[in-house]
Amino acid sequence: MTRSWILIVVGLSVPVATGLFVATTSAQQTIDVAALARDSRVRAALDLAQSGEADTIADQIRFCEVPAPPFKEAARGEVLRRAFVDLGLQNVRVDRAGNVLGDRPGAAARPRLVVAAHLDTVFPEDTNVKVTRQGALLKGPGIGDNCRGLGVLVAIIRSMNKAGVETPGLVTFVADVGEEGLGDLRGVKALFTETLKGQVDRFVSIDNGGIHVSVIGVGSHRYRITFKGPGGHSFADFGLPNPANALGRAVARIADLQVPNDPRTTFNVGRIGGGTSVNAIPSEAWMEVDMRSSSPAALAALDARVQQAVDKAAAEENARWGKTGLLTVTRELVGDRPAGRTSENAPIVATAMAAARALNLQAAFSESSSDANLPMSLNIPAITIGAGGRSINAHALDESFDSTDAWKGTQHGLLITIALAR
C-alpha cells in the first residue's frame, strides 16, 4: 500500500481517534460468524492459526529475504508458487502479469472468493533485505508491508488444510504483483480484466499489520504534463511563448483550486523541471501532479479542473505574446488508481466485523489505497484487512514489525476467509 495509507490508517484505525467507524453490530449480517467459529473444524483451524504462529513468522521472514523490487517480483513469486504447490492448492499458475494463483476448491465453483496479498515492495533491487530479530521485533525492508500479508496468506491455507475445513465455495489464493506506487495496481488490474475476469464474487486483500477493515479505496490520478515551445535565445528571440512561464501559470491556477474536505480530495504538484540554460528560452518545461480522492466523482471533477488550468495556462502564454498554438501541452497519465468504496453495511464488511467480534478483537474501519481499490471500482464486494501485529515505518529502510499477539491477525484473516467462502 502507499505511504499515504500509513498516515491515514494510523489516524483512523485507533477507535478513539475519530469515533467514525468503530465496529458496531450490524443488522445486515448474512452469515452467523460466531456460530461458524464454534464449529469444531473451524475452531481447530483457529487454534492452529495461533499455535502455528512461529511458522507464520518463519514464512514472513523467509519471503521477505527474497527481494521483490517494483516490476521484479518473479523470484519472490516463485517462492510463493512453490508454497502453494506444497500446500496442495490446485491449478497453481502464474498469469501474464506475474500474479501467482492457486485454488482451494469448495463444494461448488461459485461463489469464488479471492484472498490476495501483494508480493512487491517499494525498495530498489540492491536493497539489503536480510531480516533481523530482537525478541518480538522483526526488522527488514518490507517485513510488515507486505511480507506479513504473505505469511498470513499461507498460514490461512495451512490452518484450513490441517483442520480439514471444507467450504461451500471456491477460494483462490493470489500473491499479486504491482500494488505499490509505480506498479499502479497492475497485478489486480490483470486479475480482474483478464485472468479471472467476471469470475470473482468477493475479494479480500491482506496488507500490512494491524487489525482493521478498509472499506474506502482512495483513488489517484498522476500526470506528467509538459509544455513545449520552439525555444530560443533569451535576448534575440524574446517574444516567443515560454514553456516555463506557462508552467508557472498552470501551477498558480492549480494552487488556487478549492477541493472538498469530505470526501477528502487532494492535489499536489510534486516535481517540476525543464530548460537548459539561464539565457535560453526553454523548449520544454514539465511538472508531475498527483490527485487523490475516495470519491470517483470528486476525483474526476478535480482532474477536469486541473486539465482546464493547464489548457488556460497554455492559451494565456500564447496570447501574452500574440501567438496561437505555438506553445503546446502534452499529458501523460503515469498513475491511475481507481477510487471506490464498499458500503459499511455490505455483507462482506458485516462478516469481517463479525469475525473480529467472534474473536474478541477490536477492528476499526479504515481507508487505504490498495489492491481492493480495483474491485471496489467494479462494484465487486471488496475489503482490505490488516494481518495482525504492528507495522512500524512501512516503506522506510528501517521498517519493522512488532509480532506481539500477531496471531490474532492470522485468526481474523482465517475466519473471514472461511466465512466468505460461501
Q: Which is nearer to Zn ion, 173 or 286 (CB)?
A: 173
Q: Which is nearer to Zn ion, 281 or 394 (CB)?
A: 394
Least gap, CB of 368 to Zn ion (angstroms): 8
Least gap, CB of 235 to Zn ion (angstroms): 53
Spell out the SS3 assignment of 125-140: CCCCCCCEEECCEEEC
The alpha-helical segments, DSSP class H, found in 95-207 are: 147-163, 186-190
- Residues of this chain that interact with Zn ion (CB under 5 A) are 1, 145-146, 207
Least gap, CB of 205 to Zn ion (angstroms): 8
Q: Which is nearer to Zn ion, 53 or 145 (CB)?
A: 145
Q: Judge contact between 287 and 269, C-beta under 8 A.
A: yes
In the numeric block, which cell numbers belong to residue 293? Answer: 480522492
Least gap, CB of 200 to Zn ion (angstroms): 20
Give the amino acid at 234.
S
Q: Which is nearer to Zn ion, 56 or 245 (CB)?
A: 56
Q: Which is nearer to Zn ion, 4 or 328 (CB)?
A: 4
Distance between first and last Cα of the chain: 28
- DSSP assigned state of 72: -
Q: Residue with CB nearest Zn ion? A: 1
Alpha carbons 222 and 33: distance in angstroms, whole number: 41
Least gap, CB of 399 to Zn ion (angstroms): 11
Least gap, CB of 32 to Zn ion (angstroms): 31
Least gap, CB of 139 to Zn ion (angstroms): 17
Q: Which is nearer to Zn ion, 145 or 344 (CB)?
A: 145
Q: Which is nearer to Zn ion, 184 or 207 (CB)?
A: 207
Burial class (CB in 10 A: 0-12, 13-18, 19+), 192: buried
Q: Judge contact between 257 and 275, C-beta under 8 A.
A: no
Least gap, CB of 94 to Zn ion (angstroms): 20
Least gap, CB of 244 to Zn ion (angstroms): 38
Longest dimension (CA), the chain: 86
Least gap, CB of 250 to Zn ion (angstroms): 33
- DSSP assigned state of 210: B
Least gap, CB of 120 to Zn ion (angstroms): 8
Alpha carbons 17 and 270: distance in angstroms, whole number: 29
In the numeric block, which cell numbers belong to residue 251? Answer: 501551477
Give the amino acid at 391.
S
Residue 384: CB partners within 8 Å, gap ≥ 6?
Answer: 1, 204, 205, 206, 207, 213, 214, 217, 368, 370, 371, 372
Report the half-sphere exposure of 358 (CA within 13 A, side-chain side).
25
- Helix, strand or coil, per DSSP, at residue 266: strand
- Helix, strand or coil, per DSSP, at residue 408: helix
Q: Which is nearer to Zn ion, 68 or 414 (CB)?
A: 68
H or E element in which residue 15 lies: helix 15-18
Chain position carrying cell 477541493: 259
Q: Which is nearer to Zn ion, 147 or 348 (CB)?
A: 147
**Prior bond of 230 cis (ω within 30°):** no
Q: Which is nearer to Zn ion, 145 or 367 (CB)?
A: 145
Alpha carbons 49 and 156: distance in angstroms, whole number: 7
Alpha carbons 82 and 85: distance in angstroms, whole number: 5
Q: Which is nearer to Zn ion, 169 or 219 (CB)?
A: 219
